[in-house]
């Protein structure tokens, strides 16, 4: 379902730590470019980050995409999950485990939702350096509903060894 002809901004976090993670991020940006009902308008630098959680695994490469979309939150999430499946992400997912690709819908306009399959803004957004630093690359002044500006949120999280990989 679309929201009519009303284009709204959306932000998507990308992450990978398997099978040449940098190439997987580039591949995912390519899929986002071709997503019906969406236009890719911004992409952050890639960042290397230390994995969360107890699972022994390689470092992640992370980035954020800025989109304009006419899709509903549920339809956009479904499209992101379709891209993950196309790129070889298998379910069930190990929480905080290694992955070929991970696409998380962070924000969609000013939507605030709490549901079993989707919460907006994404609940991890205000505390994850590997989301906030790339998001600040492309939208430092973005207002996150109920939380504040991205640049302030990014300044308030510990950098756990996050390193920008390119300009």
Instruction: Enumerate the active-site residues.
Output: 89, 99, 102, 104
DSSP string, the chain: -B-TT--EEEEEEEEE-SSSHHHHHHHHHHHHHT-TTEEEEEEPPPEEEPPPSSS--PPEEEEEEEEEE-B-HHHHHHHHHHHHHHTT--SSPPTT---S-EEEEEEETT--EE-SS-EES-TTGGG-HHHHHHHHHH-TT-EETTTEEHHHHHHTS--SS-EE---
């Amino acid at each position: 379902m679309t929201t009519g002809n009303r284009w709204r901004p959306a932000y998507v976090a990308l992450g990978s730590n398997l099978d040449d993670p940098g190439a997987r991020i580039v591949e995912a940006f390519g899929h986002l470019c071709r997503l019906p009902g969406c236009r890719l308008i911004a992409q952050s630098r890639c960042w290397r980050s230390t994995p969360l959680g107890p699972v022994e695994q390689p470092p992640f490469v992370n980035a954020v995409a800025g989109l304009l979309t006419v899709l509903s939150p549920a339809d956009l999430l479904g499209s992101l999950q379709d891209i993950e499946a196309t790129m070889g992400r298998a379910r069930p997912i190990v929480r905080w485990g290694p992955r070929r690709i991970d696409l998380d819908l962070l924000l969609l306009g000013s939507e605030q939702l709490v549901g079993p399959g989707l919460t907006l803004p994404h609940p991890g957004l205000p505390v994850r350096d590997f989301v906030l630093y790339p998001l600040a690359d492309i939208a430092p002044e973005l207002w996150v509903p109920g939380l504040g500006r991205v640049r302030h949120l990014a300044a308030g999280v510990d950098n756990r060894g996050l390193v920008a990989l390119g300009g």
